[in-house]
Structure 1
Amino acid sequence: MKKSLVLAMAMALGVTASAYAANPFSDVPAGHWAYDSISKLAAAGIIEGYGDDTFRGDRLMTRYEMAQIVAKALAKGANVDKLAAEFADELDALGVRVAALEKKSDNVKVTGQFRYHYAHNKINRNNGESTSNHSNALRSRIWFTGKVNDNWNYVGMLQNQQDLTDNTGNETTNFQRAYVEGRLGGVRVVAGRHDFQLGDANLYDNRMDGIKVEYGNKVKVGAYYGKPTDHELSNGDLGDDITVKYDRFFGANVGAEIGKFSLNVAYDKFKDAYKYDKDAKATDYSNDLDDNGVFSVQAKYNFGKAALDAIFLKSNVDTDKGYINNGASTKGLVVTASYGGAEAAKVGSWGLVGKYYNQGVGTFVAHTMNGNAQDFIKEGFKGYSLAGYVTVAKNMVAGLEWYDLKGKESKDKEKTLWSQLVVSF
């Protein structure tokens, strides 16, 4: 079902939101023919769009998605009896949720994710020694999204992690996200402890405590300031017990979309690094990593279901000092080729991703991969990864990933086979 049909129903739904309600979707400019209808429906809480602030009006809707819109309209008291009859089966399947939760849908929305993974790692050192290990864990996440007003939401996330590797019952539960998101005029704002990525997640992919702002649609300008989450940048598996952490970071970027082509240029600064000796439990100032500035340029082209992406990175870490290998490369290149994608709501959908890595020191701080790039923080690494994902049942996606990495100077190798099942609800 086309979303344009939903917009045509705006009058029938009896929406009474202000004609001056702000439109929350970046891909619906003020001059769009459906701007007023979309603004009213969004302000009334009947449509929500997607997590990236888009409406995607050219996307086909499922009957289930339409039933959710009808359910929200019913909760608003709209006269949509014909629609309710058409989607009776889907509304019945939603029965408990509609009856018990939709009355509060304007206030709090609860979603979740469960992930099980098993991974096997093998380390082959250049001197002929080899070791192996494995990881085996369950991770559960519950998200709470509360509506503050028409333009702002509060988001929180509770996470439980159970490490099954050694059967000792290792378990942690913590409140990992707490932030507000919304708009100040035409500026999109996220502030608090939230997800954060830099360098297409090859430079940094973790949480941050701080603020991020972005402005624009086809041409976007963004900036941020905050503290990166403490993240181990150690060579523990390769014989080094040092961990490096940063106290603050900031940066800016500008990006543009021209048809199927997109380009992004960024500069990111990591400041005040410290080295932690886990044996002595002491800290000392890490001058060689203290002032890491990273310049990056990323280009991407979409070929329908396929896409090709490349990013170049250059750091300015000082390789003449103690922790970093003397004379190590500070340049990085990551090339990504992808096809399709596993959509959680579409059983049988699948996708493939291949990556080539050649990253010098300072071009990766908290890498997004499930391989062990962090073990090469002192020298940089080369390698590749292959991954495949398939939706085996509705909201259940299985994945298999292979990583083959090598130290740029030591030539030590790390290979990882990662498998996972992700269930969302």
Structure 2
Amino acid sequence: MKKSMIMLFTIILVLSIAGTAVAANDFSDVAARHWAYDAVSQLQQAGLVDGYSDGTFRGDKALTRYEFAVVIARGLENYTKANTQQKGLLDKLSAEFAAELNNIGVRLNKLEKNQPNLKFSGNAEVRYTSQDNNGTVASSVGGAYRIRLNGVAKVDDNTNLGLRLASGTTKAGTKYKYSSATFTSFGANSAADDNKNNVTLDRIFLTSNIGAVQTTVGAQELKLGTTNFIVDSGVTSFDGIKFATAAGAVNLVGNWGRQQKNSNTTIEVASLEAAAKQGNFNYGAGYATLKDRGTVHTTLAEYLYGNAKYQFDAGFSLGGEYVYNQQSDSDKTAWTAIATIGDQEIVKKGQNNVVVKYYRVGKNSISRLTSYSLQSKAGAGVTEAFSDVRNLKGLNVAYNYGFSKNLTAYVAYQKLTDREAAAADDRGFRYYRAAVVAKF
């Protein structure tokens, strides 16, 4: 039924834009005083039909019999939600437009057979940033963009193939780079390797259910925790295997695999997480190790972490995450707190919220796989050591607004403070940003 309704919505969109495109005797307008208009209006007010593709029923516009059938079909999907009177209206409408409803069913069956197995969705972000680097390196003003395209193909009833195509900057010798610089700057110098616009197939994996365990194998997202604080999961991938299952009310996820930096460094990842929910309270804990299996074998990080989030009401939630790197001798803790004020998700027109994030990071706590990094001082020869993030604290405040279900925008302010540097070596910075995000 869900596939059929997707096609019905497509037909509604085509009809609302293009009008009638076939013989008039098949798609003649329904008379303005026809009882069906009043019946459908009542069903729309009850929330049982959506009408046109923009969610309205245009009572001031004459509908064809075919358009009526499409709207009625939407109401029939909600038949079990209707009361006795509303069911009577749906039954009466179904009888009146039986031929058209049957015609839709025949056409949908033909269309479904021709649908491609590989389906894509994605998002694109265009942003403009003004950044002040505290005088240690030149401040910057400019725009950038990024596109990510996700594909899913059904292999059989139990298995799917997933992939991702992503634009971003390149870096020689890097497979899954530490840097989170995935945006390409406007007017970037194509001769500079770090500024090239490069589109890559950065993820491809198979997901299958083996009994009660969902198993994913291949190049896939690396996700530790729930807030993207330990690892920026939108950027970071790894080659390996993931297991996900449930033990009663507890969800369990395990990862094992490798992330290649270059010919001399290969990071081995292993983790196990548990998460649960009680009412409005979500919480979880995990353990992860990151080891260099390249030229020199060493343990880079050994994380113990926990997270929690409480939904106070529809307009306010508070959460956070704490990380302890027991591999380090000092500066080994990091934490973040996140408050969301307003709509908790931006999924339709007019929704908005303010998200406030505060974080405090010890120099040896989290790695460059996170997105929280201070500026490198010009000419300082800073290495790309795995844990070279330095002591820092940060504040990010963002306002998000939905222009529609698939088009949102945000404005943000962020300040990162270098907690250990002298004034001449201060690598902190602040920025103001405006962005538009499109989902498709």
| TM-score grouping bracket, smaller chain normalisation | 0.5 to 0.7
Distance, in Å, in 2 between the alignment partners of 1:258 and 1:252 is: 21
Residue matched to 1:150: 157
Equivalent residue for 2:336, pick from 334, 337, 341? 334
Amino acid at match of 2:155: V
Amino acid at match of 1:311: E
Distance, in Å, in 2 between the alignment partners of 1:273 and 1:134 is: 40
Bigger proportion of residues as strand? 1
Distance, in Å, in 1 between the alignment partners of 2:335 and 2:127 is: 28
Give the alignment's TM-score, normalised by structure 2.
0.62
- Whether the 8 Å contact between 1:193 and 1:207 is mirrored in structure 2 is yes
- CA deviation vs aligned residue, 1:127-180 (integer Å, no higher than 9, x gap): xx4631245222222222111122221111222347334443532111122112
Bigger proportion of residues as helix? 2
Amino acid at match of 1:168: N
Residue matched to 1:204: 231
Residue matched to 1:12: none
- Whether the 8 Å contact between 2:328 and 2:365 is mirrored in structure 1 is no
* SS of the residue 2:331 aligns to: coil
Matches within 5 A, 1:102-113: 102-105=112-115, 107-113=117-123
The structure with the larger Rg is: 2
Equivalent residue for 2:130, pick from 117, 120, 131? 120
Asked if residue 180 in structure 1 is aligned to residue 206 in structure 2, the reply is yes
Equivalent residue for 2:139, pick from 123, 132, 151? 132
Distance, in Å, in 2 between the alignment partners of 1:220 and 1:377 is: 33
Amino acid at match of 1:302: Q
RMSD: 4.1
Equivalent residue for 1:304, pick from 313, 337, 349? 313
- CA deviation vs aligned residue, 1:345-373 (integer Å, no higher than 9, x gap): 5111112211111111343325665x645
- Whether the 8 Å contact between 2:326 and 2:332 is mirrored in structure 1 is yes
Change (3 A) 1:195 1:101: farther
Q: CA deviation at 1:106?
A: 7.4
Q: CA deviation at 1:408?
A: 2.5
Distance, in Å, in 1 between the alignment partners of 2:321 and 2:147 is: 32
Distance, in Å, in 1 between the alignment partners of 2:149 and 2:288 is: 31
Q: CA deviation at 1:61?
A: 9.4
Change (3 A) 1:151 1:82: farther
Residue matched to 1:403: 414
Asked if residue 160 in structure 1 is aligned to residue 167 in structure 2, the reply is yes
- Whether the 8 Å contact between 1:106 and 1:147 is mirrored in structure 2 is no
Distance, in Å, in 2 between the alignment partners of 1:193 and 1:256 is: 27
- Whether the 8 Å contact between 2:145 and 2:186 is mirrored in structure 1 is no
Q: CA deviation at 1:114?
A: 1.8
Distance, in Å, in 1 between the alignment partners of 2:115 and 2:243 is: 27
- Whether the 8 Å contact between 1:224 and 1:252 is mirrored in structure 2 is yes
Give the share of equivalent positions with the same residue, in percent.
Answer: 20
Change (3 A) 1:378 1:101: same
Distance, in Å, in 2 between the alignment partners of 1:316 and 1:120 is: 37
- Whether the 8 Å contact between 1:317 and 1:361 is mirrored in structure 2 is no
- Whether the 8 Å contact between 1:207 and 1:229 is mirrored in structure 2 is no
Distance, in Å, in 2 between the alignment partners of 1:83 and 1:295 is: 63
Amino acid at match of 1:225: W
Change (3 A) 1:180 1:192: same
Residue matched to 2:300: 291
My pick for the range that moved more, 186-195 or 116-125, is 116-125
Distance, in Å, in 2 between the alignment partners of 1:85 and 1:121 is: 61
Change (3 A) 1:329 1:156: same
Equivalent residue for 1:220, pick from 247, 251, 268? 251
Amino acid at match of 2:127: H
Gaps of 5+ in 2: 5-46, 56-69, 78-90, 169-182, 191-195, 377-386
- Whether the 8 Å contact between 1:140 and 1:160 is mirrored in structure 2 is yes
Distance, in Å, in 2 between the alignment partners of 1:191 and 1:83 is: 51
Residue matched to 2:363: 361
- Whether the 8 Å contact between 1:121 and 1:414 is mirrored in structure 2 is yes
Residue matched to 1:392: 403
- CA deviation vs aligned residue, 1:238-264 (integer Å, no higher than 9, x gap): xxxxxx965211111112211111221
Residue matched to 2:10: none
Amino acid at match of 2:439: S
Q: CA deviation at 1:285?
A: 4.9
Q: CA deviation at 1:181?
A: 1.9
Give the alignment's TM-score, normalised by structure 1.
0.64
